[in-house]
Structure 1
Amino acid sequence: MLKNIATNLLDIAYDEQGEADGWPVVLLHGFPYDIHAYEDVAPRLISQGARVITPFLRGYGSTRFLAAATLRSGQQAALGADLLSLLDALQIEQAVLGGYDWGGRAACVVAALYPSRARGLVSANSYNIQDIATAMRPASPEKEHRMWYQYYLHGERGRAGLTENRRAFCRLLWSLWSPTWRFDDDTYARSADAFDNPDFVDVVVHSYRHRFGLVEGDPQFDDMERRLAAMPSITVPTITLEGDADGVSSLSGTKADARRFTGRHENRVVPNAGHNLPQEAPEAFAAAVLDINAWID
């Protein structure tokens, strides 16, 4: 059932399924996706007693900013703060957090900085906190070409292109990032409606400029960004997931990533799956969430 709840900055729209006294799970979508990514994950969790909450991130769907003056920031600290505020508003002291892409970043931020609020973590694409201090250091050409869309959005031509062609632009990313996933027009259209949010372009552009240090963040998140700059360890029980056909993120279960997880940690590679793991491989994603819950219990 789609509901709304106000936090300090947002009126957050979220789907909630399962019994109110079930063990809470918050599942977070990425860019450019929406809450439909979890439509086949949620039933598997509900059948095992979960209360599943799936919010639209800032700039997506029917989530709205409460004040016109609030910076339409897409920085990592803002995403983490939104998740923390949602937990507070729903009076959820502790939840299993799961996500990928932007949503995985929000979950990693909360798990790293506020571990008492995360019973456990399922993160696609491994350790998702951005190292902004080194963002201008060139990567290998093979990695650089995957990030063309980020560089495109650094300029005003990119902002105009996303504004005018958001559905075609985002559909291209779906195809490039999930080359083995044969989604149909209806599947894409259900999610693409979320990109009509009036703040979508501003939030997306800010995100891809801030992560490279090209624009300032929202000052209210400065302290959180300073803490994230230290690339903090994640101490809560964690399962990381990676699709072996991911067209944007190469397999990232490296020693460099693994050392960031100082609690119990397991990395799983999902065969024949791309970037949108919960929608492409719902069984694998749900199994990871259920396994995390079993570890804790």
Structure 2
Amino acid sequence: MDTFTHADLVFDVTDTPPPSGTDAAETVVLLHGFPEDRHSWEALAPALTAAGYRVLAPDLRGYSPRARPAARSAYALDRLAGDVLALADAAGARRFHVVGHDWGAMLAWQVAAAHPDRVSSLTALSVPHPMAFTRAMFTSTQALRSWYMLVCQLPWLPELVLSLRGGRLIGRGLVRAGLDEESADRYSVRAADRGAMRGPVNWYRGLPFDLRRPVPRVAVPTLYVWGTADGYVSRAAAQLCPNYVTGSYRFLALDGASHWLPECEAGRISAVLTEHLANASAPGAGTAGVRTPH
């Protein structure tokens, strides 16, 4: 499967079966963040397929060229969750594991909370439960780290700034924040095109719609991974996360890791991720299990 459709939008997707090619393989859906794309998972996906999973990595709404609605309301989390369910339906996956990074993690929390009947497990990289993130805005330095979210509410200006110097300005910023240069260069190409950046920025512009519909607590088995050197997500936000998970929960703090976990920390994440997926599929998995909030 190279594409799937939802709400008259056409999404590009990388569909990688396990080496055995079995149709009975469990499915893992990988959701990228800003300003990434499905290629951000290239270092991590091989470990999942080698473990026997079918891996689906889409370019999300606003990123796929044929899936770029203009209205900011089209980027509310509940609408974005519909895209994920449409992908699973197109793949014939009644249930699936969902893994998300950055904005993709926000979306993964929404999907797991609102559709526990479809989700076998949740893995969130970098970004905690949206309610933990929001609470930390008022109780820690998180608001200072997230100043750009307010700027992104402005019309056209964020796209203009991101496109400066052919996108190289944001590329240098990403490298300073810990991203490898090859990935930063790839994301800079999109940033140079203001039209192509409207959709990605609209994820931020959709935030006011999300505030009206708080994300519920998550009941499915959950793994949350955060880097101690993450410049965008505070330790306070990370440590509030277990308050919003009612099922089994594991927290992994990667010492010295930056925000860019899929690209830069795949080696340290792959083993614990595959273990989490296997445990979530074991008989009796769900509300019972380890809880490591700190």
Q: Secondary structure at the match of 2:74?
A: coil
2:40 is aligned with 1:44: no
Residue in structure 2 matched with residue 116 of structure 1 by the alignment: 117
Q: Secondary structure at the match of 1:235?
A: coil
Percentage of identical aligned residues:
26
Tell me which amino acid in the other structure corresponds to 2:158.
G
Q: Secondary structure at the match of 1:246?
A: coil
Q: Secondary structure at the match of 1:154?
A: coil
Kindly tell me: are residues 45 and 159 of structure 1, through their superposed partners in 2, closer, same or farther at Cα, counting changes over 3 Å? closer
The count of corresponding residues between Structure 1 and Structure 2 is: 275
Structure 1 position 59, deviation (Å):
1.6
Tell me which amino acid in the other structure corresponds to 2:216.
P
Q: Secondary structure at the match of 2:224?
A: strand
User: What is the RMSD computed on CA atoms of the aligned residues?
Assistant: 3.0
Residue in structure 2 matched with residue 57 of structure 1 by the alignment: 60
Task: Compute the TM-score of the two structures, normalised by the length of structure 2.
Answer: 0.81
Higher RCO by CA contacts (8 Å cutoff, separation 6 or greater): 1
In structure 1, C-alpha distance between the alignment counterparts of 2:255 and 2:105, rounded to whole Å? 20
Q: Secondary structure at the match of 1:33?
A: coil
Structure 1 position 86, deviation (Å):
1.4
Residue in structure 2 matched with residue 220 of structure 1 by the alignment: none
Kindly tell me: are residues 90 and 8 of structure 1, through their superposed partners in 2, closer, same or farther at Cα, counting changes over 3 Å? farther
Structure 1 position 169, deviation (Å):
4.4
Cα offsets for 1:70-99 (capped at 9, x unmatched): 667333223222112211222211111101
Structure 2's unaligned 5+ residue stretches are 283-294
Q: Secondary structure at the match of 2:75?
A: coil
Structure 1 position 259, deviation (Å):
1.6
Residue in structure 2 matched with residue 106 of structure 1 by the alignment: 107
Structure 1 position 173, deviation (Å):
4.1
Kindly tell me: are residues 118 and 195 of structure 1, through their superposed partners in 2, closer, same or farther at Cα, counting changes over 3 Å? farther
Task: Compute the TM-score of the two structures, normalised by the length of structure 1.
Answer: 0.80
Cα offsets for 1:247-272 (capped at 9, x unmatched): 11112332x32021111100000122
Kindly tell me: are residues 107 and 143 of structure 1, through their superposed partners in 2, closer, same or farther at Cα, counting changes over 3 Å? closer
In structure 1, C-alpha distance between the alignment counterparts of 2:184 and 2:90, rounded to whole Å? 31
Q: Secondary structure at the match of 2:55?
A: strand
From 183, 192, 201, the equivalent of 1:205 is 201
Tell me which amino acid in the other structure corresponds to 1:41.
L
Cα offsets for 1:88-147 (capped at 9, x unmatched): 222211111101111111111110000111110110135333589x79x7565x433322
The answer as to whether partners of 1:94 and 1:117 remain within 8 angstroms in 2 is: yes
In structure 2, C-alpha distance between the alignment counterparts of 1:37 and 1:130, rounded to whole Å? 26
Structure 1's unaligned 5+ residue stretches are 218-223
Q: Secondary structure at the match of 1:278?
A: helix
Structure 1 position 283, deviation (Å):
2.2
The answer as to whether partners of 2:127 and 2:233 remain within 8 angstroms in 1 is: no
Structure 1 position 245, deviation (Å):
0.9
The answer as to whether partners of 1:75 and 1:206 remain within 8 angstroms in 2 is: no
Residue in structure 2 matched with residue 221 of structure 1 by the alignment: none
In structure 1, C-alpha distance between the alignment counterparts of 2:246 and 2:263, rounded to whole Å? 29
2:71 is aligned with 1:78: no
Tell me which amino acid in the other structure corresponds to 2:184.
Y
